[in-house]
A and B are shown apart, each in its own frame.
Chain A
Amino acid sequence: MFDLFHNLGLGFGVVFQISWWSPWWLYGASLPISINILMCLIGALVGTLVGVLPGIGTVATVAMLLPITFGLPPVGALIMLAGIYYGAQYGGSTTSILVNIPGEATSVVTAIDGHAMAKQGRAGPALAIAAIGSFFAGCVATVLIAVLGAPLTKLALAFGPAEYFSLMVLGLIFAVVLAKGSVLKAIAMIVFGLLLSMVGSDIETGASRMAFNIPELADGLGFATVAMGVFGFAEIIRNLDAGAEMNRDLVQQKITGLMPTRKDLIDSAPAILRGTVLGSILGILPGGGAVIASFASYTLEKKIAKNPSRFGRGAIEGVAAPESANNAAAQTSFIPLLTLGIPPNAVMALMVGAMTIHGIVPGPQVMQKQPELVWGMIASMWIGNLMLIIINLPLVGIWVRLLRVPYRLMFPSIVIFCAIGIYSVNNAPVDVILAGVFGLVGYWLIKHDFEPAPLLLGMVLGPLMEENLRRALLISRGDWTVFLTRPLSAVLLAIAAFLLVLTVLPFLRAKRDEVFTESES
């Protein structure tokens, strides 16, 4: 327990670190600033912006901003990127409630009841409850990360290559189980990602693999490049299909009375609690993340409600639970990344990229060797949540006004920003073309109903998996049973097999589909 406070103290110390900044226009004078607080604020603001604007997602934004983090200290860079992720969860709810346009996939379900509330003139309480729920969930998740961080790290240090391999298999299976749509397609996407990760030189032998003597491919496909293509460009092209002018009839009414009534608070308190718990659990699971958490918690609320017919007509629980859940999940998904070095979803995979840019190899050793990085990031999350609740409620008007920017002007801007972003990662024009090609690939995948998220996960885990598989087999002298004879590894694989069987069973499959049908109803 003492350790926990000590660590959190260290974290807050890092966040509040004051440095003296002497810009050239002050001619020698300096200003005291806290870089990390500033980064946290920027991250939260950019995240909210991204959350508000439909047509640009978190993954594309984080990929776009990766090169920007070059010049920053590693702690500041990671704090900013983390801020974007959970900031987007806040921002998404705002537009869902006010204009029925979910800016992010995570707030799709919030729109159902949230917008119904807004139409009844209760937009204020809906926004307030969403913010309060998110803040509460954020606080709980921060504590959870702090509590679980150290023990999980200890566990991870006991892991050998065989365990790591099995753990990654389990993670990928989770990604399949929690993905939307066909199980077979999700697995195929993962394997496609694994195959893409093989391009470039082999880590052990140095042999060039599938690079076709193209020098730019010798280093492998850049992860940010593929992410930007599949999530950024593909999304733009897809949106253009539907016609650039999306239906945007804004609810032009004054938001009056932000404060929820006593009854609202009493009604939503248990929902916030349930949402937080469910979101935290789903966030930790590999392959989970914020989207599934919000869907699942909405379904749960509807199931246990005394009068389910209220849902869809402005039930406040329908706003409170998913908003708490997505925020909790966004934050707890940092746990596997920080303790095991395994990214549970696409955004976390990009965080791995950000860490690698700064020469940090994610994994259990980070927490021991660079405690100020990990704890600084954890502490910043709590501060970021506080900032978000302060910036969001008063600034609601500004965010909504941003929605009036028509898509016909927004999409060329996003294209340019993405292009400059990718170019500056390596100063390589070829990367830009590659991202464009992957944009077309992503467009094709969307058209054939393949989910791009598992692909990205496979691509990130590919090299790690191969390395650990090789090592495990080398140590066991080519004996494949090593994965089953080592107890930890066997347990992990057994869980993976069990999950896969469960998903294929028709009864549970129907249940799984039910969670995702909410958005269409």
Chain B
Amino acid sequence: MADTMGHSATATKHTSVALGFCLLALAPQIFELIWSIGTIFGWGAGRGPATVLVSHITALVAGAPAALLGAIGGETKKASSDVLLALIYSYPLFAVAILTIFMTIRSAQDYVGGIVLMALALFALWASSDLQGMRGFSFGAGTAPRMFGGLLVALGAGIALTGLLTDGPGMAHYAWRGPLFVMVSIVFFALAIRPLGVVVTAFTSFLISAMGTHETRWVEAVIVGACLTLGCALLFPYVLGLPMPMFPRFLVQ
């Protein structure tokens, strides 16, 4: 792994794309690590961060090659889920990342799009690897996901290939302001609706998402937000009869 990183750092071409793929290859592991930090504070169940870190590193560095050698040698010892993740998901993506450095990418839009789809499909293949396959001629739970997963890997590769062979647009420009504030607003809504109720949540979420553009005029936004909140508070629970908390829990009690 360290070798890969070093390689892409020295190469002048497509370094950022290759680095992005490397990050993508480790994304599930990093995500689980961040997620596991929560267990320190007692949120959620699962492995602690230390266990996660050690387990994934051993899987990536030692476990997977060992399992690979074992498979060639004919051993049928069952590999752990972390090792399988490294084998099915991370290694192929590392390979792609290394290959990327030597490629001439003619349409970055297609190439990156295809590779990311491939990554999603590989991830799905890993996620369904513990499911039962075909039993005789009846489908197991894992047959269809594996079938479609395999198909998507091929299609993703195909799209990436067209990105290499035909000219096309490069990477599009991503804005950060709109996505960020709209997402924050959505997440705030999801977390606050139960404890704080419709009135507070809808109004606050409105103002947060209004931050998504620099054109917002605040007086106007506050007035419209208040009217909208009032409308929602009347429409959803009363007119439509949907059960929804109205006011913050601590005020009602």
Q: List residues of A whose CB falls within 8 A of some B CB.
A: 67-68, 70-71, 182, 184-185, 187-188, 191-192, 194-195, 198, 202, 204-205, 207, 209-210, 212, 233, 236-237, 240-241, 243-245, 406, 408-409, 411-413, 415-417, 419-420, 423-424, 427, 429-430, 432-433, 435-436, 439-440, 443-444, 447-450, 466, 469-470, 473-474, 477-479
Contact: B117 with A188, CB < 8 Å? Answer: yes
Asked if B182 is an interface residue, CB under 8 A from chain A, the answer is: yes
Given the interface pairs A68-B240, A71-B241, the reply to whether A433 lies near B175 with Cβ below 8 Å is no
Residue among A188, A416, A450 with the most chain B CB within 10 A? Answer: A416
Asked if B38 is an interface residue, CB under 8 A from chain A, the answer is: no
Contact: A408 with B155, CB < 8 Å? Answer: no
Q: Which residues of B lie under 8 Å from residue A207 when comparing CB positions?
A: 131-132, 141-142
Docked pose: A436 CA to B208 CA in angstroms: 14
Partner of B174, one of A243, A447, A449, A477: A447
Given the interface pairs A198-B128, A439-B186, A443-B179, the reply to whether A449 lies near B113 with Cβ below 8 Å is yes
Contact: A415 with B109, CB < 8 Å? Answer: no
Q: Which residues of B lie under 8 Å from residue A212 when comparing CB positions?
A: 127
Contact: B137 with A192, CB < 8 Å? Answer: no
Contact: A188 with B159, CB < 8 Å? Answer: yes
Contact: A237 with B215, CB < 8 Å? Answer: no
Contact: B215 with A408, CB < 8 Å? Answer: yes
Asked if B212 is an interface residue, CB under 8 A from chain A, the answer is: yes
Contact: B132 with A205, CB < 8 Å? Answer: yes
Docked pose: A182 CA to B190 CA in angstroms: 36
Partner of B141, one of A182, A205, A423: A205
- Smallest distance from the beta carbon of B162 to chain A beta carbons, Å? 7
A-B contact pairs, 7 of them (CB 8 A): A70-B242, A71-B242, A188-B158, A243-B215, A244-B212, A435-B186, A440-B183
Given the interface pairs A184-B162, A408-B210, A443-B179, the reply to whether A433 lies near B187 with Cβ below 8 Å is yes
Docked pose: A395 CA to B212 CA in angstroms: 33
Contact: B221 with A432, CB < 8 Å? Answer: no
Given the interface pairs A210-B127, A416-B232, A469-B144, the reply to whether A184 lies near B172 with Cβ below 8 Å is no
Docked pose: A411 CA to B217 CA in angstroms: 14
Q: Which residues of B lie under 8 Å from residue A192 when comparing CB positions?
A: 117, 120, 152
Q: Is the interface of B mostly helix, strand, loop or mixed?
A: helix
Q: Which residues of A lie under 8 Å from residue B128 when comparing CB positions?
A: 198, 209-210
Asked if B10 is an interface residue, CB under 8 A from chain A, the answer is: no
Contact: A478 with B136, CB < 8 Å? Answer: yes
Asked if B202 is an interface residue, CB under 8 A from chain A, the answer is: yes
Q: Specify the chain B residue showing the minimal Cβ separation from A425.
A: B242
Docked pose: A191 CA to B155 CA in angstroms: 9
Given the interface pairs A243-B215, A413-B228, the reply to whether A210 lies near B186 with Cβ below 8 Å is no
Docked pose: A427 CA to B237 CA in angstroms: 12
Given the interface pairs A198-B145, A240-B178, A432-B186, the reply to whether A188 lies near B162 with Cβ below 8 Å is no
Q: List residues of B whose CB falls within 8 A of some A CB.
A: 109-110, 112-114, 116-117, 120-121, 124, 127-128, 131-132, 136-142, 144-145, 148-149, 151-152, 155-156, 158-159, 162, 169, 172-175, 177-179, 182-183, 185-187, 189-191, 193-194, 198, 202, 205-207, 209-210, 212-213, 215-217, 220-221, 224-225, 228, 232, 236, 240-244
Given the interface pairs A408-B216, A436-B186, the reply to whether A188 lies near B155 with Cβ below 8 Å is yes
Docked pose: A194 CA to B117 CA in angstroms: 13
Contact: B221 with A409, CB < 8 Å? Answer: yes
Docked pose: A116 CA to B231 CA in angstroms: 39
Given the interface pairs A412-B206, A420-B232, the reply to whether A237 lies near B178 with Cβ below 8 Å is yes
Contact: A436 with B187, CB < 8 Å? Answer: yes
Contact: A416 with B205, CB < 8 Å? Answer: yes
Docked pose: A240 CA to B216 CA in angstroms: 12
- Smallest distance from the beta carbon of B91 to chain A beta carbons, Å? 20
Contact: B159 with A210, CB < 8 Å? Answer: no
Q: Which residues of A lie under 8 Å from residue B136 when comparing CB positions?
A: 478
Contact: B209 with A411, CB < 8 Å? Answer: yes
Contact: B182 with A439, CB < 8 Å? Answer: yes
Residue among A198, A440, A443 with the most chain B CB within 10 A? Answer: A198
- Smallest distance from the beta carbon of B224 to chain A beta carbons, Å? 5
- Smallest distance from the beta carbon of B39 to chain A beta carbons, Å? 14
Docked pose: A449 CA to B121 CA in angstroms: 19
Partner of B186, one of A68, A182, A198, A433: A433
Q: Which residues of B lie under 8 Å from residue A195 when comparing CB positions?
A: 120-121, 124, 145, 148-149, 152
Contact: A474 with B187, CB < 8 Å? Answer: no
Q: Which residues of B lie under 8 Å from residue A444 when comparing CB positions?
A: 116
Q: Which residues of B lie under 8 Å from residue A443 when comparing CB positions?
A: 179
Q: Which residues of B lie under 8 Å from residue A432 when comparing CB positions?
A: 186, 189-190, 193
Contact: B113 with A415, CB < 8 Å? Answer: no
Contact: B228 with A233, CB < 8 Å? Answer: no
Q: Which residues of A lie under 8 Å from residue B236 when comparing CB positions?
A: 420, 424
Q: Specify the chain A residue showing the minimal Cβ separation from B192.
A: A429
- Smallest distance from the beta carbon of A88 to chain B beta carbons, Å? 21
Contact: B144 with A210, CB < 8 Å? Answer: no
- Smallest distance from the beta carbon of A485 to chain B beta carbons, Å? 16
Q: Specify the chain B residue showing the minimal Cβ separation from A463.
A: B144
Docked pose: A474 CA to B121 CA in angstroms: 27
Docked pose: A191 CA to B207 CA in angstroms: 38
Closest 9 CB pairs of A and B: A478-B137, A240-B178, A448-B113, A436-B186, A207-B141, A432-B190, A244-B213, A188-B155, A429-B190
